[in-house]
Amino acid sequence: MSNILVLNSSVSGEASVSRLLVADAVTELTQRDPNAKVVFRDLAADPLPHLLPSTVAGVRATASTPAEEEARRLSDELIAELRAADTVVIGAPMYNFSIPTTLRAWFDHILRPGVTFRYSEAGPEGLLTGKRVIVVESRGGLYSEGPGQAADFQEPYLRQLLGFAGMTDVTFIRAEKIGFGPEFREQAVADSRAELAKLPA
């Protein structure tokens, strides 16, 4: 039985392209493994707190105050949820050329020195290996080709964040030109669905 962790971060609810495609990805995966256990986390509806001067030591150093201990507890919970997953599906809309701050806050909690990555003689080493990640990237414009490529701080950033924790098997599903009009949105959804259907078992 596989474990699937699903993270959504779009603020657009029913109108969201990434949420639609994330749901399709989950359907695709659970059709292949009907016994899969799926855990959903909605980072937009239930945002994680930003790290603060009063909490940061709980995640990045030693927790010694109640606020730091609470931050540590939350970080532990998120890491355990991630560690348990064989497959992670992430809905990542492009917001201001990068990712939603709610998704970034999740990375702030799960990237923990000595726990999910460590520094060695050979440089940084990600400790959450052996996972498969599917990222649905929805974008108003076009960034996979042409002049927009230079402004894509979403996909390279996500690749770096995930890879830093050891998650290097990442498939990006790009739904682009959503802002160009309904027919472009429809085309992007159809193309992305075709990509999802081709995901290896």
Ligand X SMILES: Cc1cc2nc3c(=O)[nH]c(=O)nc-3n(C[C@H](O)[C@H](O)[C@H](O)COP(=O)(O)O)c2cc1C
In the complex, minimum distance from the CB of residue 128 to ligand X, in angstroms, rounded to a whole number: 25
Pick 16 or 87: Cβ nearer ligand X = 16
Query: Exactly one of 5, 7, 18, 48 binds ligand X (CB under 6 A); which one?
Result: 18
Whether 88 contacts 5, CB under 8 Å: yes
Show the beta-strand stretches assigned E in the chain: 3-8, 37-42, 87-93, 117-120, 123-126, 132-138, 169-175
The alpha-carbon radius of gyration of the chain (Å, integer) is 17
Query: Exactly one of 17, 133, 158, 196 binds ligand X (CB under 6 A); which one?
Result: 17
Q: Among the candidate windows 17-25, 28-36, 64-72, 74-82, which touches ligand X by CB under 6 A? A: 17-25
In whole angstroms, what is the distance from residue 140 CA to residue 103 CA?
Answer: 18
Query: Exactly one of 47, 126, 141, 163 binds ligand X (CB under 6 A); which one?
Result: 141
In the complex, minimum distance from the CB of residue 50 to ligand X, in angstroms, rounded to a whole number: 17
- 178 near ligand X (CB under 6 A): yes
10 marked among binding-site residues: yes
In whole angstroms, what is the distance from residue 198 CA to residue 201 CA?
Answer: 9
